[in-house]
Amino acid sequence: MADRFPLIFNTSAGQIQELSASDNLDMTSSSLSNLSSLSVSGTVTAGDFNSTSDQNLKDNIRPIESALEKVSEINGVLFEWKSTGEISAGVVAQEVEKVLPEVVKEMDGKTVNYNGLIGLLIEAIKEQQVQIEELKKQISQ
């Protein structure tokens, strides 16, 4: 069939599901609901990505301390993927791991939860804003 994607989910028990172009995959209600992670090699494109972030699902919520200092230790880099030669931009997991190890995981190489960096950046901006306000006060005096 021309509308088939090469997307098949397997377990040790055999094939679970094959998706066609008109299918939707809902991992919350399908037989894949016990899937705890999904690994994709290549590019994933979507109109939107929503991450679960409900306060009711979290314990021990606290701000990230010294966020600006931590951000200063991470470099935004341009690089080429060894496997494809494709140019990309991002961070280096080993650098991130030194300052925010909670967002780095060891899989097939180190991975970075880029969503996890957003909280760090928000707190760093807030720290900068405090510095800016203090400088404005000094200048006006």
Q: How much is the average pLDDT of 26-51?
A: 69
- Residue 12 to residue 130: CA distance in whole angstroms: 54
pLDDT at 2: 47
Q: Are 54 and 40 in contact (CB under 8 A)?
A: no
41-78 confidence digits (pLDDT tens):
777 777 888 888 999 999 999 999 999 999 999 999 99
Does the structure show a pLDDT above 90 at 103? Answer: yes
At 111, is the secondary structure helix, strand, or coil?
strand
pLDDT at 136: 97
Going from N- to C-terminal start, the domains of the chain cover 1-38, 55-140
Note the CATH number of domain 55-140: 1.10.10.10
Q: pTM for the whole thing?
A: 0.73
